[in-house]
Amino acid sequence: MRLLMNKVFLVLATTAAMIGLFFLAWILFTLCIKGVAGINLHVFTNDLVNGGLRNVIVGQLMLSGIATLFGIPLGMLAGVYLQEYGGNSKLTEFIRDLSDVMMSAPSIVVGTFVYAVVVIPTGHTSGWAGVLALFILMVPIIVRTTDDMLKLVPIELREAGMAIGASKYHVTMNIVIRYARAGILTGILLAFARVVGETAPLLYSSGSSQFWSTDLTSTFPSLTVSIYNLATMPDEEMVQLGWTGAFLLTAMVLFINIIGRYASNKTRR
């Protein structure tokens, strides 16, 4: 009887996995077929207004990159505080819980929040609003990774640092963070990969633009938002461009993820 139950579960679990994998493969397959067809130099050298994707790709990377640039110091400082200075105080627990909640907040909620506090008061969508939305999504991830990675640093290493006369500050900066460096870097990379593919938080914050722009104070070109817009257009060519964008985005996210995993595997050895 128990053997039978075992078999049934095994079959069910395998089937479920197969169904999941099947859809994943289907999505990737369609994406490749439709996406690759549209790839040519023209896509990379022209802006959206001329049927290319140059401005939106650069725009997307700028939005995520700037959000990361601001997110790293804040997130890491908070993570270091939690692990090295916070102890077991109520405040530490509160910040940990808060950042966990923030991490699972739906991204559309963050987008709407930014819309309410930035876009409505200023009267228009802007690059900075998009950066803010991605920043809010990203910081809790970096806090969490830093916190987790520092927790893995052996306590003996901290004691050994103190034992040669290093101050708490020096031990933290030169020994603890250095030990956890690769892990934290991987976490940041994965956090970047996570936000670079977001649409919902950008939809009402940065919006998207057809034209080349590096001016963050006005509506800003975004790849994800453009894919969303292109997909629903009546024009065949535009839809094709949407597929190409989706393919490029997927390839990019996949690539960053692979680098991240590779780096983290290397450190674990």
Q: In whole angstroms, what is the distance from residue 221 CA to residue 47 CA?
A: 10
CB 53 within 8 Å of CB 241: yes
Query: Of 19-27, 123-131, 162-170, 257-265, which segment contacts another protein by CB under 8 A?
Result: 162-170
Spatial distance between the Cα atoms of 161 and 159, rounded to a whole number of angstroms: 5
Is 164 near another protein (CB under 8 A)? yes
Q: Smallest gap, in angstroms, from Cβ of residue 72 to another protein?
A: 20
Q: What 3-state DSSP class applies to 13?
A: helix
Q: Which stretch binds another protein (CB under 8 A): 34-42, 121-129, 157-165, 238-246?
A: 157-165
Q: How far is the CB of 191 from another protein (least distance, A)?
A: 23
Tell me the two tokens of residue 244.
């190409």
> Angle 57-59-61 (CA atoms, 0-180°, nearest 5)?
70
Going by the DSSP 8-state scheme, the letter that residue 164 receives in this structure is T
- Name which of residues 176 to 195 contact another protein (CB under 8 A): 178-179, 181
Instruction: Single out the segment in contact with another protein by CB under 8 A; choices: 96-104, 142-150, 175-183, 213-221.
Output: 175-183
Q: Is 93 in the site for another protein (CB under 8 A)?
A: no
Using CA atoms, how far residue 253 sits from 118, 178, 209, 238, 266, in Å, is 28, 27, 22, 23, 20
**Interface pick for another protein out of 27, 160, 254, 258 (rule CB under 8 A):** 160
Q: Is 167 in the site for another protein (CB under 8 A)?
A: yes
124 binds another protein (CB under 8 A): no
Determine if 249 is a binding residue for another protein (CB under 8 A). no
Q: Which of 135, 158, 199, 248 binds another protein (CB under 8 A)?
A: 158
Please report whether residue 91 would count as binding another protein according to CB under 8 A. no
Contacts of residue 240, defined as CB under 8 A and 6 or more positions apart, other chains included, come to 34, 37, 38
Residue 179: CB minimum distance to another protein, A: 4
